[in-house]
Chain A
Amino acid sequence: MDHKWSMVVDLDRCTGCEACVVACRAENNVPTAGEDEAARGRVIHWIRVERYWEGEFPNPRVRFRPVLCQQCDAAPCEPVCPTYASYHTPEGLNAQIYNRCIGTRYCGNACPYTVRYFNFFNPVWDKPLHLQLNPDVSIRQVGIMEKCTFCVQRIKAAEIQAKAEKRDLIEGEFTTACAQACPPKALVFGDLNDPQSEVSRLNRSNRATKLLEEVGTRPSVTYLERGTWRGEKT
């Protein structure tokens, strides 16, 4: 059976702790930028927790929204790439093929979610982070784009294991680094083609919405949120 990988982000559970950001950085060998370069907008984080403030002092209220690559079915980043570096896999993942990327950065402009990141310099890690690089994930050189892969290395490892044992993938057998690290379980990863899976169940929730649905990208990430953003009682 084909898989359709999907993530559900429950905004009513998210506490904004950013454990997902740290876990992703460790899992996917995301380089550190340093204070100055981060201030210049060169920091890379495949998942970020967006903070939106509502209300005036003394009663401000903050909303958190983890934003990662939405793995769109109609991804604007894919057709614009002149070298097929931004590529749609048969499993519906929006893959970034580093070796093909020549760094036009067109995909980064076309992405409405601004979740594609450019390597402005060769990657560096503050000590001792350089000792904990993940051997399953290639590091990216200067001049190419990178972004969230839905931890494709974990997907592949689980698929290979299942194939070796001549069985189907089991729900909950693996998950992405961000979902694994999320303390309130606001992030759930799974197979949307399996009607019994947790993501399928959550996708049927009446709280389910898509981010920037009006742009027509058909994202694979679903957000759960109660009520409306505006006008809701605090």
Chain B
Amino acid sequence: MVMNRDDIARLNEDLLRPLFRTSGRFYWAALILALIVIVALAAWGYQLWAGFGVAGLNRPVYWAFYITNFVFWIGISHAGTLISAILRLANARWRRPVTRCAEVITVFALMIGASFPVIHLGRPWLAFWLFPYPSERRIWPNFRSPLVWDFFAITTYLTGSTTFLLLPIIPDWALVRDKAKGWRRKLYSVLALGWRGTPRQWSRLETAMHIMAVAIIPVAVSVHTIVSWDFAMAPVPMWHSTVFGPYFVAGAIFSGIAALILAMAILRKVLHLEDYLTPLHFDNLGKLLLMMSLFWLYFIVAERLTVWYGNETSEMAVYWPTQRGPFAPLYWTMIGCNFLVPFIILSIKQLRTVAGTVVASSTIVVGMWIERFLIIVPPLERKYLPFAWGTYHPRPVEIIITAGTFAAMALLYLLFVKFVPIISIWELKAGVRQESVVPIPASLLRAPDLIESPSPSGLTRGPAGFSREVS
């Protein structure tokens, strides 16, 4: 099928509306979120001013909420790029409206996650010592330290995923430039980087996107593996585990898909994108989520069973408090959130609706945060010498900063949606184009907004018809 002039106009209108029209609700939401972020920043300032002791950390629990947030957000960041890259390479047609809202989660979640190693530093003003730069001190970072691996992994991933996000935005920004007047036209002229939609430009864009899609997958896998090695490399009971690499990667993709579903559901509701983000997308992602939930269960069983069977004294001191000791309520909540609830909802076709996947995703996001907390804190509380055992209780500063990161994520997303069409317009059009009677190689396509010729067959389909095509 081919889109006619009305379809194009309606598509542009639907997807560009948030950029050109701003309701009062937007300002209120932005204001409230910004206030929460400011309070969180103030809390961090208080921690810097009063000393690190205002947080709940102690000896022996030197890492807790901040590192939990770090691992959690880096995990969320696996939503986007990885899923979008895999779906692109697999050429899954239904991916087209989903990719960008996934990719942008990656970039923002990485930014937020990467800020936590700095927030948690005793002397954050010296964080730049992790950079390998020629300094008067004549020492480089210690390349044996997993924290330095982290630094390189995260900066690589952030650079790669930002590129991966920005590349396919260029044609859309060009479209906005062509539709806009005034300051927007000036702004988007700069952002569009001189995009004219020539065959050469399309060919280069396609090549670049393909290279990035292939390159970003190993980077994404390595990032969360290295994050897991922050723990697995230390001789701490129940940290020192070979399963941590794949376990963390699986958990990251798991929580990432859940975050993506939540973001899509909110976008769908707020921006009225019901015709674009259809129940089909939620159904497909729900199946993926179900698979990852089973994967996650497999990993936690593999980890827990081997520890229990091995019955090593130092490990059992950590193991039992999580199964039936003080951490048991959290542990079994986690099992419920990450396995029981999602498994029931997602394995029943009638429940795998928009609302159903949203419920499952919400419990998963909570459950995966708890999972990271349970990986980090119980082993630290009970390292080898019982005399040095301790307990950890979070204090207000940590809770406020944690809440602030969720607000920061929402705020960044909100602002992004104001400046970038959250659904890739040209890819949607190209998708329809590829379905046409005479297939045209994508590299020969001109700027999609110029493809407005009436269909040769005279068929007319509205966006509703388009969304049926997706299914």
**A residues touching B (Cβ–Cβ < 8 Å)?**
37, 40-42, 48, 50-52, 65, 67, 76, 79-84, 100-106, 108-110, 112-114, 117-122, 141-145, 212, 215-217
Partner of B142, one of A81, A110, A112: A81
Which chain B residues lie closer than 8 Å to A50 at the CB level?
Answer: 385, 387-388
CB distance from B336 to the nearest CB of A (A): 29
B235–A102 CB distance below 8 A? no
B145 in the interface (beta carbon within 8 A):
yes
A84–B122 CB distance below 8 A? no
Besides A40-B53, A118-B57, 14 new A-B residue pairs in contact (Cβ under 8 A), listed by A number: A37-B53, A41-B61, A65-B387, A67-B385, A67-B387, A82-B148, A106-B234, A109-B380, A110-B233, A112-B235, A120-B51, A120-B57, A121-B51, A212-B385
B385–A82 CB distance below 8 A? no
Partner of A42, one of B58, B124, B388: B58
B63–A142 CB distance below 8 A? no
Task: Provide the B122-143 mask, 1 if CB < 8 A to any CB of A, else 0.
Answer: 1110110110000001010110
Which chain A residues lie closer than 8 Å to B147 at the CB level?
Answer: 80, 82, 104, 106
Which chain B residues lie closer than 8 Å to A65 at the CB level?
Answer: 387
A215–B52 CB distance below 8 A? no
Central interface residue in A51, A83, A100, by most chain B CB within 10 Å: A83
B52–A118 CB distance below 8 A? yes
A103 touching B52 in the complex, CB below 8 Å, given contacts A83-B129, A83-B141? yes
Which chain A residues lie closer than 8 Å to B236 at the CB level?
Answer: 109-110, 112
Which chain A residues lie closer than 8 Å to B146 at the CB level?
Answer: 80, 106
A113–B385 CB distance below 8 A? yes
Which chain A residues lie closer than 8 Å to B137 at the CB level?
Answer: 100
B279 in the interface (beta carbon within 8 A):
no
The residue on B at minimum CB distance from A105 is B62
Q: Given the complex of chains A and B, what is the CA–CA distance between A216 and B66 in angstroms?
A: 30
A114 touching B383 in the complex, CB below 8 Å, given contacts A80-B146, A82-B148? yes
CB distance from A216 to the nearest CB of B (A): 8
Which chain A residues lie closer than 8 Å to B235 at the CB level?
Answer: 76, 110, 112, 215-217
B121–A79 CB distance below 8 A? no
- The 3 A-B pairs at the shortest CB distance, nearest first, are namely A103-B122, A143-B122, A41-B58
CB distance from A133 to the nearest CB of B (A): 20
Central interface residue in B57, B141, B145, B387, by most chain A CB within 10 Å: B145
The residue on A at minimum CB distance from B239 is A109
A114–B385 CB distance below 8 A? yes
CB distance from A68 to the nearest CB of B (A): 12
CB distance from B97 to the nearest CB of A (A): 41
B60 in the interface (beta carbon within 8 A):
yes
CB distance from B46 to the nearest CB of A (A): 13
B387–A52 CB distance below 8 A? yes
B123–A105 CB distance below 8 A? no
Q: Given the complex of chains A and B, what is the CA–CA distance between A52 and B388 in angstroms?
A: 11
Which chain A residues lie closer than 8 Å to B122 at the CB level?
Answer: 101-105, 118-119, 142-145
B21 in the interface (beta carbon within 8 A):
no
Partner of B139, one of A42, A84, A117: A84
A120–B53 CB distance below 8 A? yes
Partner of B121, one of A113, A114, A143: A143
Partner of B59, one of A42, A76, A82: A42
Which chain A residues lie closer than 8 Å to B230 at the CB level?
Answer: 106
Which chain B residues lie closer than 8 Å to A216 at the CB level?
Answer: 235
Partner of A103, one of B123, B144, B388: B123
B383–A40 CB distance below 8 A? no
B127–A52 CB distance below 8 A? no
Q: Given the complex of chains A and B, what is the CA–CA distance between A172 and B244 in angstroms?
A: 49
CB distance from A138 to the nearest CB of B (A): 15
The residue on B at minimum CB distance from A49 is B387
Q: Given the complex of chains A and B, what is the CA–CA distance between A128 and B121 in angstroms?
A: 32
B387–A79 CB distance below 8 A? no
B145–A80 CB distance below 8 A? yes
Which chain B residues lie closer than 8 Å to A113 at the CB level?
Answer: 384-385, 388
Q: Given the complex of chains A and B, what is the CA–CA distance between A212 and B386 in angstroms?
A: 12
B390–A215 CB distance below 8 A? no
Q: Given the complex of chains A and B, what is the CA–CA distance between A41 and B53 in angstroms?
A: 10
CB distance from A86 to the nearest CB of B (A): 9
Q: Given the complex of chains A and B, what is the CA–CA distance between A163 and B381 in angstroms?
A: 46
Which chain A residues lie closer than 8 Å to B50 at the CB level?
Answer: 121
A120–B130 CB distance below 8 A? no
